[in-house]
Amino acid sequence: MATKSAVPSTASKAATQSASTTAPQKAPRTLAGRTAPLDDAARKAILTQYEAAIKLVYAGKFDKAHEAFTKILPDAPADIAPSVRMYLATCEAEISKHSAAFSTPEERYDYAISLLNHGHYEDAREHFEAILKDNKSADYAFYGMALLAAMTCDSPRCIEHLTEAIRLNPQNRTQARLDSDFESVADDPSFTELLYPEPQL
């Protein structure tokens, strides 16, 4: 999981305080050119999004924070635009650092499994999805998604992901038969049919 060591601290307080002041009457000039002053409602909406994005940074959700700040930047008032750019740079650095931490997709999978075992389900999901984004044929990632669904008692999604894992690699059927993490879906007839199909004549 990404650390929070590179997250700016005092800068965010200063930026938030500055953002709370009254917008200047004269249209400011920014890197994007001259922007029209925002009305109070629009400014308040952007500040709400800005504060929510900062919370994502401090929660270590750098991908989501980067997406949020990217959406904010085009309409950001001049007094918070520099802070938005600073947070964008921080997110990009953290994302790059975290991606480089895994030398292989298998290492990332092992990390995701450790997250599962500690109950960090959404964090694990993000890593499984990242693996599949790079390789849609990664059967082990589909298997991991099936485990996640089983551990969160989502039987239909578990069967969906496990079906794909077995399609890509039939050995996953044997592994799933021995995997106690599928206990929560073991009574589902569809799960039984998937693991113990009728022999073809």
Note whether 148 and 174 are same-domain residues.
yes
Local confidence band at 33 (pLDDT 50, 70, 90 cut-offs): very low
Same domain, 129 and 161: yes
Structural domain including 95 reads 10-99
pLDDT at 108 over 50: yes
Asked whether the predicted pLDDT for residue 58 surpasses 80, the reply is: yes
One domain, residues 95 and 109: no
Picking from 80, 99, 118, the residue at the C-terminal end of a domain is: 99
What integer pLDDT is reported at residue 201 of this predicted model?
Answer: 62
In terms of C-beta distances under 8 Å and separation of at least 24 residues, what long-range contacts does 101-104 make, across chains too? none
Verify that 113 and 190 share a domain, yes or no. Answer: yes
Q: What is the model's pLDDT at position 94? A: 79
Q: How many domains does the chain have?
A: 2
Tell me: pLDDT of 110 over 70: yes
Same-domain pairing of 164 and 133: yes
User: Is the separation of the CB atoms in 86 and 92 below 8 Å?
Assistant: no
The answer to which of 23-27, 29-33, 55-59 has the lowest mean pLDDT is 29-33
Q: Are residues 17 and 90 in the same domain?
A: yes
The more confident residue out of 165 and 96 is 165
In a domain, 126, yes or no: yes
Domain check: are 147 and 66 in the same one? Answer: no
pTM reported for the whole predicted model: 0.54
Residue 200 lies in a domain: no
DSSP codes, 102-163: -SSHHHHHHHHHHHHHTT-HHHHHHHHHHHHHH-TT-HHHHHHHHHHHHHTT-HHHHHHHHH
Asked which of 2-16, 50-64, 96-110, 127-141 is least confident by mean pLDDT, the reply is 2-16
Same domain, 70 and 116: no
73 lies in the same domain as 129: no
pLDDT (0 to 100) of residue 164: 98
CATH code at position 147? 1.25.40.10
pLDDT of residue 118: 86
